[in-house]
Structure 1
């Protein structure tokens, strides 16, 4: 092969790669970051301006979820120059900080989803007791503990690991902002368990339990209706759920005395789990495949793609949580029409 063709061919390939990056970033990545920021900002504004939303303590978890997802959009925006140029130009220390923020934001998003599922379970298990014990202060304490736990654990892991592996003195690794979690099997397994497998199992078990409880409740109600030939016979727990729904109007989970709407809500929560798995599973499949097949040497394009899919979960969350609430939707429509209240 003619050497002159090789030398002339290299610049052409190098020019194609930046062009492809520009297209992907401008068409997909950056618009997604903006969408995540706008959607979740709407959630924050709606919570602040509408007393009906603030009256329901469960919506405080949705507020916390929106804060975590906004942080995800900020991290994505900071990564834009890396995706455009293929290099990290902000130094090793700031790279470690970005890893901390990135993983803290995604961890908090996952932990909040688990907290919302726990709240649903407690509401269905015993509505009156849950309402009497739940408060905004308690939710704020729970969310604060989650934030401090995620931030402290991620900071400890990132700075300790980068120090032990000499990341801050390795210009090549700093140039691509790769701390190297994927090259350590113990770290990879711990992250897989804490970030994905355990939360997924918890959400699945809680939602499945909610579904069967509501199904049994509906069966009991139908039995009573058939026995007494009444158009509607409502148990104490169902009355509590019906009364609660008038105040909370929360994701259609407490609106029907018969329990049929509860079952629809339980099936809807199963959709949340499906979305979570589809967004997170490709990331860990790629991490495991890279470790066992290529000894931790990453395919940067594939890594960016699965990371983008993972972050996409933060764009879907507002549709799954806040946008299903009638009070949130009213505020969102007013925001889009630029109408004040």
Structure 2
């Protein structure tokens, strides 16, 4: 018995706690200094890329009138959402992930969790809105200019922001997500994790991810089908004035470009968010056996989608690339040949 007590005392002494002076404090995550430095370097780089990339989109769309269109209003709002994630959410999540502790109190933990859910779901819903906009532009081109206006787009964006705010803050502050988990989960002082019961794990994931993702996938497959159909029709018309070989090359290039763009859009989106939401749904059914480090990694995978969004929705378009070059040249003090963006 004495040896056992001595061993336990030695283990307690070797263990570092988030709040050593408080009883029931969470233990700090023990990591080698090299690993901690590497984690901070990677996460800081991701944060800087997220903020700077989305700021570049915001400045470009705001500065150039040629980029003022309903589609770009959605991309502008998406960039603002993703930039907010990089400025407001990711720095606090970085410290929590590396240190394994939350030092800012229970109330700010709820605010952070609510904002995290709100901004992440708003970003996902913006991606869904982009897919709806592209569907109308490609599949209903004659009705697009009259039915899709800047006012309607701003109204939809406002509804998305309002819905995400009410849903996220309502769910977290009502503590409905953790109802019935008292016997399974025993939070310690210094933890900040949003733990969902079975009902809300499924409901929240459906509302914030699976339903928008299903809409995106179905619309993008429809867009791809219509794009291929349009390419065949255009090449049938071009066949009267061009050779057969040129027609085949044009059709193949258009179909390849459309398929590549859509594959990148859906592939990056699903790669970043699908593992996290699958884990969120499954975790309550396996008595919350998912390790904290795994969950943190999946959260940062989801955050990384906001880092990729400027590349996917802006850098792929020539007029955005030219706008970025002009903005960067002015920022760095280089002379530009033109301040006018030709699209």
TM-score bracket, normalised by the shorter chain, equals 0.7 to 0.9
Q: Matches of 2:251 and 2:283 in 1, distance apart? A: 51
Partner of 2:123: 109
Among 311, 314, 328, the residue aligned to 1:336: 328
Contact 1:207 1:269 in 2 (8 A): yes
Aligned pair partner of 1:175 in 190, 194, 201? 190
TM-score computed with the length of structure 2 as normaliser: 0.79
Q: Say if 2:113 and 2:172, in contact at 8 Å, map to a contact too.
A: yes
Q: What is aligned with 1:237?
A: none
* Partners of 1:207 and 1:266 within 8 A in 2: no
1:17 is matched with which residue? 31
Q: Show the counterpart of 1:66.
A: 79
Out of 40, 47, 71, the position equivalent to 1:33 is 47
**8 Å CA contact 1:214, 1:263 repeated in 2:** no
1:279 matched to which residue of 2?
Answer: 272
Question: Where does residue 218 of structure 2 map in the other structure?
Answer: 205
2:241 — aligned with what?
230
Alpha-carbon RMSD:
3.1
Distance 1:150 1:202, change over 3 A: same
Are 2:151 and 1:137 equivalent residues in the alignment?
A: yes
Following superposition, the deviation at residue 317 of structure 1 comes to 0.8
Distance in 2 (CA, whole Å) between partners of 1:164 and 1:33 is 30
How far residue 46 of structure 1 moved from its aligned partner, in angstroms, is 0.7
Runs (5+) with no aligned partner, structure 1: 233-256
Distance 1:11 1:278, change over 3 A: farther
**Whole-Å separation in 2 of the counterparts to 1:10 and 1:186:** 37
- Do structure 1's residue 270 and structure 2's residue 263 form an aligned pair? yes
Q: CA deviation at 1:70?
A: 1.1
* SS of alignment partner, residue 175 of structure 2: helix
Secondary structure of the residue aligned to 1:93 is helix
| Moved >4 Å (runs of 4+) | 1-16, 162-167, 257-260
TM-score (norm 1): 0.80
Unaligned runs of 5+ in 2: 17-28, 244-249
- CA separation of 1:153/1:259 partners in 2, compared to 1, >3 Å: closer, same or farther? farther
- In structure 2, relative to structure 1, the CA distance for the partners of 1:11 and 1:36 (3 Å cut) is farther
Shift in Å, 1:334: 3.2
Give the number of the structure whose residues are more often helix, by fraction.
1
Q: Distance in 2 between matches of 1:46 and 1:268?
A: 22
When residues 59 and 10 of structure 1 are mapped into structure 2, their CA distance, relative to the original with a 3 A threshold, is same
Alpha-carbon shift at residue 84 of structure 1 (Å): 3.9
Which residue is equivalent to 1:312?
A: 304
Q: Deviations over 1:24-76 (max 9, x none)?
A: 4322112211210111011111111111111x221111111101111211201
- Do 2:70 and 2:149's aligned partners in 1 also have CA atoms closer than 8 Å? yes
Counterpart selection for 1:50 from 64, 68, 80: 64
Return 258-267 or 305-314, whichever deviates more: 258-267
C-alpha spacing 1:225/1:79, structure 2 compared with 1 (3 Å) = closer
Number of equivalenced pairs: 309
- Do residues 194 (structure 1) and 207 (structure 2) align? yes
Aligned to 1:154: 168
